[in-house]
Structures are given as C-alpha cells and as structure tokens.
Structure 1
C-alpha cells in the first residue's frame, strides 16, 4: 500500500463529528451488515455520506471534514472501525463496484411544505405494528411499504409519501423514535424535483426517485 494510495483514501474529520459519523454507520450496518457508504466532497470543508437503506431510498448526512478526492466508496464496517484510530481516517480498499445507482443532484428542488416530526414518528409506529402482524421471512410486505401515507401539496406539485420513506427516515435515526417535546414540532422539510423526492429532518435526509427504483444514471 503506497503513501499516495493512503492520501487518496483518507478522510479528515473534525473530532466533534466522529461520534455522529459512528452513530450514522451503526444505523447503516443495522440495516445491512455488508453495507457500503459513498462519500462525496461537497466543498473544501464539507463531506456528504450516502447509504442505501433497504427501503428503495437513499440516506444522506453532511459532516464537517475534508475528502481529497471528489468521490469514494468504502465498506461501512471498515470505516466504523477506522474511526477509533486517531488522525486521518483510512477508507480502506475502494468499493466502487459495490455501489449501485447514481446520487441525486445536489440542487434543483422546490420546497413543497413542512410536516411536524411527530407525524412521521406516529406513522412509523403504526407502520411497525402492521409490519409485525404481516411480515414474512422476507420482511414487511411490499404492499405496506408502497402504501401512500401522506400527500403533500405545494409549489404547484403534489408529492405522495410512501411508507418506505417514513421507515427510511426513522430507521436511520434522522427523527428519534421518541423525540423530546421540544423536537416533536421540528419540521421535516419536503422538497421535490421532477425526478426525486427529498425529506430533510434534523439529523439527515432521505431521497427516493419518483419512479421508484434508484436509477443507474442521474436524471433531472
């Protein structure tokens, strides 16, 4: 392993951000123990970390840090272990071939409306009860995941929210399952483009392509 390889496969992260990235990665691994994450350099001081959720939706959180390359894919378990080592965080061997699909565009979204966080917590609770009743060895039935549980209207658009997005938002801990009273009215911002629906919560965002499956190439 060369020094050049190490310099390209290293993440510089503020110490205050390590615990938050660790919590994010543990959530990712709880959903898929073989998960990979995709790191994207948003700016010189910001790095976005993306993951698949198992609900046909992508999760994203932004951290204060620096990435020497525009884009990198790493094994989530390796990255979690590397957080315990002081200094530059080694991303390990490239895992690019393990990432399927394109990232959503960074801009081009219209603000549709805001929904209080507690509404999503309640929907997730009711959905979990139904999933427990009707799940099989393969998990919750597709009919439950695809069920439209909200319809948000605004900015000349009408955006259906399926249970998949609700589960993705809460499974990643972007809304706590039992938020303090002060956080229950926190807005979950619903944004949409022609191709993507985006939910922005206090601790992160989830995205889903409006056609359902995540495309192999970016469409706007």
Structure 2
C-alpha cells in the first residue's frame, strides 16, 4: 500500500474466499437498493466490517479478513462490486469514488452486547417464508405494510433482559442472504443468536448480522 492510497486490501491467505464474501454482500445490497452505499470500517484485529442500511430500518453487516484505507470509508455498492471483480495482484480493491456524504446515521457499538438467547434458525427461516407470503398479499407500491414489518415475531426473554424481534429483522436477514434459503440447508442445531444493549438489538446468523435500533430507529437510520 502506497502512502495516501485509498482502497481495500483482502487477506492474502484467503483472498478468494474474502472476495466472494464481500462481493456477495455488495450484490445483496444492490438487489435492495441500486443506489446503495456500503460502509467499510477497519477493526483492530485485522478484520474489516462491511455495513449496509437495508431499507427496513435495519443495518446489515458482514466481517471480512482484510484492511481498508482510510480506516472508515463509504463506497457505492456497484462500484465496490466492480472493484471486487478485478482484484489487483496485491489484493487491492478499488472501491470507486468516496461516498461518505451519502451515509446517514450512526453505527452500533463494537462491544457491550449481552447474549440473551439463541433461536433455532429453521424457525426464523419459517417466519421469513410466512412473512413473505403475507407481504405479497398485502403489499402496496410502497412495499410491505409497516404493521407487518413492525410486528414482533419472536420474543426473547432471559435473566439479562427481554426483547422482541420484529419482522423487519427477519426480512433483512433473508434479503441479505445471511440465512440459507432452503430449510434443507439448515441443520437441526443451527441457531440465530440474539444479543442486545439498551439501545440496539443484534441478531447473528450464519453469514452475517443485522442490527435494529431500539426505541425510534428513524432517529438514526433516516
């Protein structure tokens, strides 16, 4: 990396896998928003986190092995995908023009989440399929009704606290491909992990994580 050079450098030990992971994330983001913006932030452990605002008032993230310069940058999803399709020999990915001004809202904290419980992944996938059927029946030109999106479809209670998981999070998980698309691909022991802080709900699935602001998400996501 030369001084001042902007971009993403994928881990050389697993470059093909990391390129596929990040490309899949960008592709899913583009399906939801053709003008979507992906935010990339460096972590202190040699990993970077890709973020996308899904349009469900839910943030999606996926961790990839690599580094980015600057340590926090925003790129158009289509430009990032184009860069991932032409990775340089040294692993450099050109993310295109800076899109930092297009990102709205804050990100959840890196730490402080308390594990509340695990939910069977098959149950979440079943909820997603039933929710999609209802959405097709009741959607308008503006998408699924807010009453369906805001409905808590899973209640999680533990000594550490209680939260409801709204359909928004379930839709975001499946739309970003964070859960396998077929029940046959989900093992009986596969779970979706639910964590929370007083301000954020976090749901971890096999291929990524979604975050939902508790309280009024519109304050930070719009």
TM over 0.5: yes
Aligned to 2:54: 53
Q: Name 1:42's counterpart in structure 2.
A: 43
Cα distance in 2 for residues equivalent to 1:169 and 1:133 = 21
Give the 5 Å matches for 1:102-181: 102-181=106-185
Task: Output the TM-score relative to the length of structure 1.
Answer: 0.92
Question: Could you tell me how far apart the structure 1 residues matched to 2:188 and 2:67 are?
Answer: 33
Counterparts of 1:176 and 1:34 in 2: how far apart (Å)?
A: 25
Contact 2:180 2:186 in 1 (8 A): no
Structure 1: 5+ residue runs without aligned partners?
A: none
Given the superposition, is the C-alpha separation of residues 182 and 117 from structure 1 closer, same or farther in structure 2, using an over 3 Å criterion? closer
Cα displacement (A) at 1:4 = 5.1
Taking a change above 3 Å as real, the CA distance of residues 164 and 212 of structure 1, as seen in their structure-2 partners, is: farther
Q: Deviations over 1:185-210 (max 9, x none)?
A: 31110000010000011100000001
Q: Match of 1:203?
A: 207
Q: Which aligned runs of 4 or more in structure 1 are off by greater than 6 angstroms?
A: none
Q: Counterparts of 2:100 and 2:185 in 1: how far apart (Å)?
A: 42
CA distance in 1, matches of 2:64, 2:133: 33
Aligned 8 A contact 1:73 1:94 in 2: yes
Q: CA RMSD in A?
A: 1.6
Give the structure 1 partner of residue 10 of structure 2. 13
What is the TM-score normalised by the length of structure 2?
A: 0.91
1:80-139 CA-to-partner distances (Å, cap 9, x unmatched) read: 001121321012221111000001000011100000100110000110110011000110
**2:101 equivalent to 1:100:** no
Q: Write the distance in 2 (CA, Å) between the matches of 1:134 and 1:182.
A: 28
Structure 2 unaligned segments of length 5 or more: list them: none
Identify the range of structure 1 (104-113 vs 148-157) with the bigger mean alpha-carbon deviation: 148-157
When the two structures are aligned, how many residues end up with a matched partner?
Answer: 213
- Report the secondary structure of 1:180's partner residue: helix
